[in-house]
Chain A
Amino acid sequence: MSHVARIACQIADLDALGRAAEKKGGRLKTNVGTFKSFQHGQRCDHAIELVGAENAYEVGVVRSNVGSGPASYELAYDNWGPGAALDRAFGPGLVGLQNEYLAIVAEDQLRREGWMVQREELEGQRIQLRAYS
């Protein structure tokens, strides 16, 4: 082993976020302005809804940086009451959704660079990618 790096998820690829949401039963809605939660009118840039659960709360995708550079986003949601469905679909604290986002972004990048990639689902919502030259 040559080096080990630990990376904190930073959401910057909306296409990958949309694909991650779909895989977990959600749908990314772009440029919506607000997302459903206990408090009405919570501001966001985009939102993720659960497909087939119109009464459930939504995940807000909120831009976390300013300026003209590439946008990055944070996820916001309310897991009380109708929001519990979000924890069930996307994992407590939306960890399952973030894991899926990271896996999609990593696999896309590795394949762009010419690596062969194998994906394996591990216990506890863990995902492992192995890339070979």
Chain B
Amino acid sequence: MENRTITVTIEGGKAKVETEGFVGAACKDATAQLEKAMGSVESDETTPEFHQSEVQQVTN
């Protein structure tokens, strides 16, 4: 896997975690411990890329 990035933006005592370049649900595995270390997850949104990647993985 290439060009995987995790961006953490911290503001106002809260953190936003964004992932790029992961296939399907791998991004959630990659950030699970990070998110747990920082605190409690208030919201978690998947993006179209999250689902597109899973479809591509199944059909290839």
Interface residues of A (CB under 8 A from B): 1-10, 12-13, 93-95, 98-99, 102-103, 105-106, 108-110, 113, 115, 122, 124-133
Contacts and interface: CB of A to CB of B under 8 A. Distances in A.
Contacts of A93: 13
Pairs A-B, 6 closest by C-beta atoms:
A10-B39, A98-B13, A2-B27, A131-B6, A129-B8, A7-B15
B10 A102 contact: yes
A27 to B, nearest CB: 21
Interface majority SS (helix, strand, loop, mixed), chain A? mixed
Contacts, number: 139
Given A3-B19, A99-B13, 18 more contacts: A1-B18, A2-B20, A2-B49, A2-B53, A3-B28, A3-B31, A4-B17, A4-B45, A4-B47, A5-B44, A7-B40, A7-B41, A95-B12, A99-B10, A99-B12, A102-B10, A102-B14, A131-B5
A98 B1 CA distance: 33
A1 B38 contact: no
* B contact residues, range: 35 or more
A7 B35 contact: yes
A8 B45 CA distance: 15
15 contacts: A1-B18, A1-B47, A1-B49, A2-B21, A2-B27, A3-B18, A3-B19, A5-B17, A6-B43, A7-B40, A8-B14, A9-B15, A10-B40, A106-B38, A122-B9
A130 B44 contact: no
Nearest to A13: B37
B33 interface: yes
Contacts of B34: 106, 109-110, 113
A129 B8 CA distance: 5
A73 to B, nearest CB: 11
B20 A10 contact: no
